[in-house]
Amino acid sequence: MTEPLLAVRALVVRYETEAGTVRAVDGVDLDVGVGETLALVGESGCGKSTVARAIVGIAPKTSGSIRFSGTELPPLGTARRRPFLPRLQMVFQDPDASLDPRYTVGASIDEPLQLADPKPPRGERTRRVAALLEDVGLDETFAVRYPHELSGGQKQRVCLARALATNPSLLVCDEAVSALDVSIQAQILNLLRELQERRGLAYLFITHDLRVVRHVSDRVAVMYLGQIVETAPTEELFASPAHPYTEALLAAVPSLSKRGDRTLPVVRGEIPSPLRPPAGCRFHTRCPRAFDRCPRESPPLYPKGPVETRCFLAAPE
Ligand code: SF4
C-alpha cells in the first residue's frame, strides 16, 4: 500500500507551564492523502491547532512520528528540513499577523518565490506574482497595494497566494476563514476547492465550525482534550455521528441539531483543562451517555468500516 502524503503517528506535544505540564496533544494518528481534504475539528483548547503547528514544525513534538511523502520530517530550522519547506505551507486565521504592513502585496508574494528560487530575473518574478494573484481571484493591480488598503477577504486571498507561491502539495489551513464574514467565507471556501481541483492540493483544514467542514472536507477527524475521538467520511459523520461528543458538536449548530425526529443531546460545561485531563474516558465529565465503566477505563479507537470511534458504546458486540 502506498503511504499517504502526510502520516502522523502517536503524536504527543507537551509543554511546561508554571501550573504544570500541559498535555496539548496526546497520541494523535492521522493521514492525509494526495489531493484530499481532512478536517480536524473540536472546541477551542482541544489541541487541534497544536497538531497543525507540530506538523509545520513551529510547535516541537514531544514524541511520535510525522512523515511527509514517506520521509520523517526533520525539525524546523535544520538544513535537512529545507527541502520540505516549499511543499508544506500554512495559512493562519489572522491575515494581519501574516502580512508585513511595510511590504506591498507584490513584495509579500515575491518573498517566498525568491527563497524557493532566487535565480529568475525580476521581470519573470513579476509575471509569477501576477499569475498567483490571478489564481486567487485578484488582478495584477493589487501587487502595488499595501495590506491596510485591502478588505479581510482580500488579505486572506493574498495569504493564500503567498502560500501557493512555492507550489506546495499540502496546505495546513488553521481557522483560515473563521475571521471572515459568512459571505466572504463562502467565496474563500469556493476558491480553496477550485485551487484543489486545478493543482491537486491536499488540505488539512483546522476549524471549530462544522458548517464549514461539511462543504470542504472528504473526511473529518474530531478532537477532544488532545485525542482523536472519531474519524469518518464527511457525509457519514453528518448523517450518523458515532461519538457522543460529535453529536454534541452537531447539536450546537441549530441547522444540524436534528436527526429525523430525534434532537441530538446538547453538552454543557467547559472543556476540562489539559493540565489535568479526567481519568478514564476524557469525555465522561460531560457525556450524557456515560456509565460506570467510563471514569475507570480509557476507550481505544474502535474501527467499523471507514469510521473509528473512541467510545465503549462503539465496541464490537
Ligand atoms: Fe461517553 Fe463513556 Fe463513550 Fe466516553 S466511553 S463517550 S463517557 S459513553
Angle, helices 122-135 vs 105-116, to 10°: value is 110
Q: What SS3 state is found at 182?
A: helix
Q: Which amino acid is located at 196 in the chain?
A: Q
Give residue-wise pLDDT tens across range 82-97. 999 899 999 988 888 8
Give residue-wise pLDDT tens across range 153-164. 999 999 999 999
Asked if residues 294 and 286 have their Cβ atoms less than 8 Å apart, the reply is: no
Query: Which residue, by CA, sits nearest to atom 6 of ligand 1?
Result: 311
In short, whether 221's Cβ falls inside 6 Å of ligand 1 is no
Determine the average pLDDT of the residues in 252-268.
75
At 251, is the pLDDT very low, low, confident or very high (cuts 50, 70, 90)? confident
Residues whose CB falls within 8 Å of the CB of residue 275, separated by 6 or more in sequence, listed in order: 17, 19, 20, 21, 22, 23
- Residues 236 and 231: their CA atoms lie apart, in Å, by 10
- The CA distances from residue 115 to 134, 140, 253, 311, in Å, are 21, 21, 43, 47
Among candidate residues 106, 102, 76, 105, the one with its CA nearest the CA of residue 90: 76
Q: What percent of the chain has pLDDT over 90?
A: 70
Which span out of 81-85, 182-186, 207-211, 312-316 was modeled with the highest average pLDDT?
312-316
In short, whether 284's Cβ falls inside 6 Å of ligand 1 is yes
Determine the average pLDDT of the residues in 219-243.
96
- Give the dihedral of Cα atoms 44, 48, 53, 54; nearest 10 deg: 140
- Residues 174 and 92: their CA atoms lie apart, in Å, by 5
Would you state the pLDDT for residue 261?
Answer: 67
Instruction: Report whether pLDDT(36) > 90.
Output: yes
> How high is the mean pLDDT of the chain?
91
284 Cα nearest atom in ligand 1 = 7
At 1, is the pLDDT very low, low, confident or very high (cuts 50, 70, 90)? low
Would you state the pLDDT for residue 138?
Answer: 93
Cα of 246 from ligand 1 centre, angstroms? 11
Query: Ligand 1, residues 229, 284, 292, 310: which to mutate, most atoms within 8 A of Cβ?
Result: 284
In short, whether 281's Cβ falls inside 6 Å of ligand 1 is yes
Output the CA angle 277-278-280, nearest 5 degrees.
125
